[in-house]
Amino acid sequence: MSLDLRNQKCAICSAYLFDEDDVVYCPVCGAPHHRDCYNHLGRCGMEEYHGTDMQYRREEPAEEPKRETQPQPEAAPNLTEVCIRCGSKMEKGSRYCNNCGAPAGMNVPPFAFSPFEQGEVVKETAVIDDGVTAKEAAQVVKSNTFRYIPKFLKVTAQNKKSWNWAAFLLPHGWFAYRKMYKESIITSLLSIITVVLNFPLSLALLSLPTADQSIRNSIQLAEHYAQYANEIGFLPLFLSFVGMVMGLVVRIVCGMYGDYIYKQRVVLSASLIKQAEDTEAAEKKYSGVSFVGFMLAVFAVEFIPTLLSTFLI
């Protein structure tokens, strides 16, 4: 027989009983005893009270009151991430910004993002131009749609201005990458012309006395060549200035109107795809981007002036 011995005492020696003690219980009243105490006395230590009101009755230990569990308040969302596009705070672990729909952090590459996801930046049925919907335009753009589709809705025939850093920094490469080959050829030729216009100045500088070793920075080098300004002449300086201005103007124009030009091309391509008998072949031809075209455009602008300089300088 094994009962709970907490706060129980031997009925003979009144010492507290523990689980490891050898304990026996009176068969009449159930009073606990050390076995040695019970054997020494030969009877229950409470035998004189058997059958009376003072007979031993075991008191069970009171149960501990159950603690009522208070409902825990819902934890506030962990707004530790910031949208890379609009700057809004977003819940950690979210794939998209709930404000603008842009991908969270760098977990989702921009080319895999659709502007019609959670943020609902653009409705699929929104008309871009000439009956072409946003969804059809996105199928042509394919890469970086979360930027271009909203831009297409903002730039119109009345308001063509926007800003595109890629078109500003490398216009010929960006046009070729977006399969606008005619525009890429035009900007490539203009870029080559700006370099060629610097050839007369380069020839004039090569004919001047070589700078000595005391010149250690560009300012001193400019002062050195300024001493021979009369020998350089006006025309080489003027042509170099024209080339510099031309290159800057081309970049600014492409940066400001690149999105509108691209929109017009996307609308035309979407229309051609819808009208084509072989839709799959037409989509392959007109949609997406061309990395090969980008490389060819950059190579041409870098290589052709170098080739010309071997004959002219």
Positive/negative CA dihedral, 294, 296, 297, 303: positive
Give the C-alpha separation, 186 to 183, whole Å: 5
pLDDT at position 107: 44
Scanning the structure block, which residue is given the tokens 């009369």? 230
SS3 of 36-104: the string is HHHHHHCCCCCHHHCCCCCCCCCCCCCCCCCCCCCCCCCCCCCCCEECCCCCCEECCCCCECCCCCCEC
HSE toward the beta carbon, residue 249, CA cutoff 13 A = 8
HSE toward the beta carbon, residue 71, CA cutoff 13 A = 2
96: three-class secondary structure by DSSP: strand
To 10 degrees, the CA torsion angle through 111, 95, 128, 278? Answer: 50
Residue 254: which of 142, 177, 306 has the closest Cα? 177
- Residue of 220 and 175 predicted with greater confidence: 175
What's the whole-number mean pLDDT along residues 51-69?
Answer: 67
- Given a cut of 70, whether residue 104 has pLDDT beyond it is no
User: 3-state DSSP: the chain helix, strand, coil percent, rounded to 5?
Assistant: 50, 5, 45
- Residue of 44 and 294 predicted with greater confidence: 294
Domain 1-54 matching CATH 1.10.287: the answer reads no
Map out the domains of the chain as residue ranges: 1-54, 78-121, 127-312
Mean pLDDT of the chain: 80
Residue 288: which of 195, 180, 206, 188 has the closest Cα? 180
268: three-class secondary structure by DSSP: helix
- Given a cut of 90, whether residue 45 has pLDDT beyond it is no
Structure tokens at 276: 């084509």
Residue 169 has a CB neighbour count (10 Å cut-off) of: 12
Give the C-alpha separation, 29 to 299, whole Å: 106
pLDDT 10s digits, 159-170: 999 999 999 999
Per-residue pLDDT band for 191 (boundaries 50, 70, 90) equals: very high
Structure tokens at 109: 């590459």
The answer to whether 159 and 144 have CB atoms below 8 angstroms apart is no
- Given a cut of 50, whether residue 108 has pLDDT beyond it is no
Per-residue pLDDT band for 115 (boundaries 50, 70, 90) equals: low
Per-residue pLDDT band for 155 (boundaries 50, 70, 90) equals: very high
Of the chain, the percentage scoring pLDDT greater than 90 comes to 33
- Given a cut of 60, whether residue 106 has pLDDT beyond it is no
Per-residue pLDDT band for 13 (boundaries 50, 70, 90) equals: confident
Q: What is the pTM (predicted TM-score) of this model?
A: 0.59
Give the C-alpha separation, 9 to 56, whole Å: 12
- Given a cut of 50, whether residue 117 has pLDDT beyond it is no
What's the whole-number mean pLDDT along residues 105-119?
Answer: 46
The answer to whether 83 and 102 have CB atoms below 8 angstroms apart is yes
Residue 115: which of 128, 129, 132, 134 has the closest Cα? 134
What's the whole-number mean pLDDT along residues 235-246?
Answer: 91
pLDDT at position 76: 53
Distances (CA, A) of 185 to 37, 104, 172, 192: 112, 37, 7, 10
Give the C-alpha separation, 301 to 188, whole Å: 6
- Residue of 205 and 119 predicted with greater confidence: 205
